[in-house]
A and B are shown apart, each in its own frame.
Chain A
């Protein structure tokens, strides 16, 4: 934390939160890159560094193994593997970063989908010697599927290709092609050497020809506020506040987290799925009434009329309502060891509403090596990415995932084991 001289200055208190996910394998130098980011922004404290040095030496790693910073579980350290998504934070005077680091083997897809679900930015690692490989396509595909607004490709190990601007230009051209194919709007490559530190936090002296930002500069200046859906008002009701105390005798507030649009007092409201209409009387918090709020603030909305509203209902703009759907076509990441068969019945959680779903059709599954859709699979296995059709036991008020990540996403729950077995992104609804 010593990079920060005055943590409770106005600037530091107002710093935006940026959530990022890193994708890549140990071979691409991912741990080194993360270690470099943390080390050069002075987030690694003396006792952590000492512990890592000591353990590296005891294990005979022959170098300071920065992967040990995130590998905290006993089995991980004993077997030298990473088991689960690790979350780390770091802060600069400009931004507060939340990093989800997903390990790059066996359970990869499931882990990356988990880490990527809340990310503003995905950092995808590429080894400059190998360029765009199958794994790069897979990571980019997942980032596109999860509608991560910004992708940074860290073209690493530039020191091993003599810092060649020609080599970087070749890789950049391949990436542009990939971005076009996947419909990625903001994919940008940065040449670097995580081992030496070039273009991670500091520019370094390896690539004087590079005039673009370092990775950190890019992450510090990306505009993430423009990614929000400010057009379609959405407010899933989480909890009804009814104090029953004398001073708040008739108080009835709908608590929840804004999922879209800008909410103001006086706005017209439709309550879904019932279709009842009202108007916003106030948007408030413990700190008082607010003039306007947007996602993802947690607030309480009061309505002018005493309409019937409960948990799981969605408040929305009647002029731009969500789709009240009984049938969904969705992209699905299957996350369970037990395969998914057609006709299965599952629990589904969408915003604050829990209903049940029947799998009507397994439409297609992606061949993860070629990224080509294979029609009509007989079942889905762990880590499969597929398109499915679901029929719902009760209607849900939804948007497509590309329109709104909060109201277009759902999870599937196995009703026998209570496990979370699938992550869904709505493509179409009716």
Chain B
């Protein structure tokens, strides 16, 4: 048994963990068909761990779903399949390629083409196909200003849209999961976590991460002051010459919009020390999708993005 001499003195990680587990159990109990969205990134890896803690020794009362753009880092897809299989949980892969093939989404063209926005179509279609009424994700309030104002239980209408001016008040730990048929709730159990909390938790729980989070040699090219991985999915502009460098990724998204940082950090301790010393936010440093405009995230959420 673990000795707890002062059971009322908790660390912030204990407290945030307890809050997140409570949220996951609430949505599982109050909605009929929830789903847990998993991207293979560190935040959703933490979410997966929290779900494990919420229902142990039982199985998840919901499936795990990945919206696969087809442009993911192969290391991440490999990790996803292995991790979900280890847990013995059910994985649904919703494919953006299929949405394109069916004519539901139109591929962007040109050197700055990205499937990031197309994910929304695939996500909403998959929610409808499987009749999910609640979807959990690993978004955090410290990532972006629109997210700082979003509820933990975020109500979405029939079109999956978020209306920031008509949010339900959220008090104590009493979450309102009431909806009509066709409407959904997006749930963010780690809303109150920061990037640093996530890394601390990864270290404390000794969670395995996809290898791209750690330093490795890779062919990259420079664009908009970010290092992009050379891949078949990104067309290079003239002058964007590839070179090999030690690089790691701070977030895991589509290869078309996720930038890497030059680094030799090969352990969690080293990565965390580098992040602690950085002067740029996570999304500012590594996500092209949030650089489009000041309200880029809000605009995407309004049409159903996570």
Q: A73-B149, A98-B192 are in contact. Are A13 and B141 (CB under 8 A)?
A: no
Q: Is the CB of A45 within 8 A of B279?
A: yes
Is A406's beta carbon under 8 Å from chain B? yes
Q: A272 to chain B: closest CB distance in Å?
A: 18
What 3 A-B pairs are tightest by C-beta distance, nearest first? A72-B145, A17-B12, A298-B21
Is B174's beta carbon under 8 Å from chain A? yes
> Per-residue CB proximity of A77-104 to B under 8 Å, as 1/0?
1000001111111010001101000000
Q: Is the CB of A349 within 8 A of B141?
A: no
Out of A87, A95, A418, which one reaches B141, CB within 8 Å?
Answer: A87
Enumerate chain B interface residues (CB-CB to A < 8 A).
1-4, 6-19, 21-22, 25-26, 28-29, 52-59, 141-142, 144-149, 164-165, 167-174, 176, 178-180, 191-192, 194, 196-197, 199-200, 203-204, 268-269, 272-273, 275-281, 284-285, 294-295, 298-299
Q: Is the CB of A46 within 8 A of B2?
A: no
Tell me what chain A mostly uses at the interface: helix, strand, loop, or mixed: mixed
What is the CA–CA distance of A51 and B167 in the complex, to the nearest angstrom? Answer: 27
Q: Is the CB of A5 within 8 A of B276?
A: yes
Is A184's beta carbon under 8 Å from chain B? no
- A216-230, CB < 8 A from B: 225, 228, 230
Is A25's beta carbon under 8 Å from chain B? no
What is the CA–CA distance of A352 and B279 in the complex, to the nearest angstrom? Answer: 42
Q: Is the CB of B2 within 8 A of A288?
A: yes
Is A379's beta carbon under 8 Å from chain B? no
Q: Is the CB of A405 within 8 A of B172?
A: yes
- For the A-B complex, the count of residue pairs with Cβ-Cβ distances under 8 Å equals 243
- A374-430, CB < 8 A from B: 405-406, 409-411, 413, 418-420, 423
Is A56's beta carbon under 8 Å from chain B? no
Q: Is the CB of B281 within 8 A of A423?
A: no
What is the CA–CA distance of A391 and B10 in the complex, to the nearest angstrom? Answer: 38
Q: A227 to chain B: closest CB distance in Å?
A: 9
What is the CA–CA distance of A73 and B147 in the complex, to the nearest angstrom? Answer: 9
Q: A163 to chain B: closest CB distance in Å?
A: 34
> Per-residue CB proximity of A348-360 to B under 8 Å, as 1/0?
0111100000000
Is A70's beta carbon under 8 Å from chain B? yes
Interface centre among B12, B169, B199, B268 (most CB of A within 10 A): B169
Enumerate chain A interface residues (CB-CB to B < 8 A).
1-2, 4-8, 12-17, 45-48, 51, 55, 69-75, 77, 83-89, 91, 95-96, 98, 110, 113-114, 117-118, 225, 228, 230, 238-239, 241-243, 245, 247-248, 251, 253, 255-257, 262, 285-298, 300, 311, 335, 347, 349-352, 405-406, 409-411, 413, 418-420, 423
Q: A49 to chain B: closest CB distance in Å?
A: 9
Q: List the A side residues contacting B12 at CB < 8 Å.
A: 15-17, 95-96
What is the CA–CA distance of A285 and B58 in the complex, to the nearest angstrom? Answer: 12
Q: Is the CB of A289 within 8 A of B1?
A: yes
Q: Is the CB of A291 within 8 A of B3?
A: yes
The contact sample of 22 A-B pairs, CB cut-off 8 A, is: A8-B269, A16-B9, A16-B10, A16-B11, A70-B148, A72-B145, A72-B146, A86-B145, A89-B141, A89-B142, A117-B171, A239-B29, A241-B58, A288-B2, A290-B1, A290-B4, A291-B2, A293-B4, A293-B7, A297-B7, A298-B21, A413-B178
- In the complex, the chain A residue whose C-beta lies closest to that of B299 is A74
Q: Is the CB of A349 within 8 A of B176?
A: yes
Q: List the B side residues contacting A413 at CB < 8 Å.
A: 176, 178
What is the CA–CA distance of A207 and B6 in the complex, to the nearest angstrom? Answer: 39
Q: List the B side residues contacting A255 at CB < 8 Å.
A: 25, 54-55
Q: A239-B25, A311-B29 are in contact. Are A110 and B169 (CB under 8 A)?
A: yes
- In the complex, the chain B residue whose C-beta lies closest to that of A418 is B178
Q: List the A side residues contacting B165 at CB < 8 Å.
A: 75, 83-84
Q: Is the CB of A297 within 8 A of B29?
A: no
Q: A117-B171, A293-B7 are in contact. Are A89 and B58 (CB under 8 A)?
A: no
